[in-house]
Structure 1
């Protein structure tokens, strides 16, 4: 019965995002300020073009590009391969993907545009609410 619960009911829509042109030092500051481990990278049409993680930032630092070049951009270190989920996906399917992939969060897209993010914690919140109250009201 939990399959009737959809991602859009529990996703976070207010995200910190970067563009490929964002300065890497500024992006790192934002990750630290917001206490997050990564953020989506979007183009001017709000289409997801990559993801920037703490690991990507560390790779940039280890290769020396962050410290030796003055204008390192997010596009220089971001991951281009991004696993996403559709806004109308059901919670059970997404929970299975979390278990299989080991990921902590997925960007949520609607017609190719980034509309939010769903995390393992969001899934647990959905399960708890469903168990406590039955199906959520749409």
Structure 2
């Protein structure tokens, strides 16, 4: 009888944890949104009260029209000061960013991180069947990365 080498049954290689880390698992779903006919002043109050840096602008059907951010509000403040115009008189529609880039909720969060870097934005709306279903921010990506750290980044 010869000596047999026994390796045992090898486990299937595990897929990296990041493959299952999808944008839809980390996106915010309970969003503060704005309407195009709201005043920029109301937006500023809402942003500061809720400690957020911007929000999606939607119509009555919850379809995405644009985004309004702190930066858009700052531009309005500056313009109002320069042209001596009342700050309360302008609507979201005149100051929001249109043609907003969106991402798929089924995108891997690491791919989403790359999109953030490429597009230099702070948030991406998630649209499904023409309706706004969520939003992912840079902070949401950081939270996902913290979950990933314990699994794939080692103990550095």
Please list the CA deviations of residues 51-100 of structure 1 after superposition, one character each: whole Å capped at 9, or x if unmatched: 10111112222222794375321111111121111121121210111122
**Structure-2 change in CA distance of 1:70 and 1:128 (3 Å):** closer
Aligned to 1:11: 27
**Pair 1:113 & 2:131 matched:** yes
**Pair 1:37 & 2:50 matched:** no
**Pair 1:58 & 2:58 matched:** no
1:87-106 equivalent positions in 2, closer than 5 A:
87-106=105-124
Larger radius of gyration: 2
Please list the CA deviations of residues 105-134 of structure 1 after superposition, one character each: whole Å capped at 9, or x if unmatched: 211111221111112222222232234358
* Matched-pair contact (CA < 8 Å) for 2:41–2:88: no
Q: Secondary structure at the residue paired with 2:36?
A: coil
Gaps of 5+ in 2: 1-15
**Pair 1:73 & 2:91 matched:** yes
Task: Give the alignment's Cα RMSD to 1 decimal.
Answer: 2.1
Gaps of 5+ in 1: none
* Matched-pair contact (CA < 8 Å) for 2:44–2:73: yes
Match of residue 43, structure 2, among 6, 15, 27: 27
Give the TM-score normalised by structure 2: 0.76
Aligned to 2:147: 129
**Pair 1:49 & 2:65 matched:** yes
Q: Secondary structure at the residue paired with 1:63?
A: helix
Give the TM-score normalised by structure 1: 0.85
* Matched-pair contact (CA < 8 Å) for 1:43–1:49: yes
* Matched-pair contact (CA < 8 Å) for 2:101–2:124: yes
Aligned to 2:13: none
Q: Secondary structure at the residue paired with 1:56?
A: helix
